[in-house]
């Protein structure tokens, strides 16, 4: 009986992968790029998750606060990371018309949903390590 379950689970996994590739290819034809690959590459770089987790925890942060919270990141790298994840619509940048100018960053709704999914994956790694 356990062999049947293993075969069934393998078939189910195979079907899920097939469905994913079909959807991914259809989206790629429509947009001209592979959104999933681009999003995953961005998330798996050295700094993006730290920025996303900080914004998920604190909700709104200024540049200097992010820099203080993320040890080892340079101002240049933080600026590049923020621009990159803002282009992906994961974070939102608010500029306030003040002197000196004040800028705050926060997760978009998409960014919040993405953060929850990435946390689930991270928890899975911790649970299965």
24 class by beta-carbon count within 10 Å (0-12 exposed, 13-18 middle, 19+ buried): middle
59 — alpha (psi -120 to 50), left (phi > 0) or beta?
left
Give me the chain's average pLDDT, please: 87
Report, as an integer, the average pLDDT of 5-29: 77
pLDDT category at 101 given cuts 50, 70, 90 is: confident
Residue of 110, 74, 77, 70 whose CA lies nearest to 91: 110
pLDDT confidence band for 109 (50 / 70 / 90): very high
What is the spatial distance between Cα 101 and Cα 116, in angstroms, rounded to a whole number?
31
Q: Which residues contact 114 (CB under 8 A, 6 or more apart)?
A: 39, 43, 52, 90
Q: Coil, helix or strand for 99?
A: coil
Distance of CA 73 to CAs 63, 69, 81, 118, Å?
A: 12, 9, 10, 21
Could you tell me the pLDDT band of residue 9, with boundaries at 50, 70 and 90? low
């Amino acid at each position: 009986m356990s062999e049947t379950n293993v075969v069934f689970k393998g078939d189910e996994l195979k079907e899920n992968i097939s469905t994913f590739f079909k959807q991914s290819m259809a989206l790629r034809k429509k947009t001209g790029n592979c959104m999933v690959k681009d999003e995953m590459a961005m998330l798996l770089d050295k700094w993006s998750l730290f920025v996303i987790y900080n914004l998920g925890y604190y909700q709104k942060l200024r540049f200097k606060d992010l820099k203080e919270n993320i040890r080892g990141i340079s101002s240049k790298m933080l600026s590049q990371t923020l621009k990159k994840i803002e282009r992906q619509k994961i974070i939102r940048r608010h500029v306030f018309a003040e002197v000196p100018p004040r800028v705050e960053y926060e997760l978009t709704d998409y960014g919040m949903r993405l953060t929850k999914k990435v946390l689930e994956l991270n928890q899975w790694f911790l649970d299965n390590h």
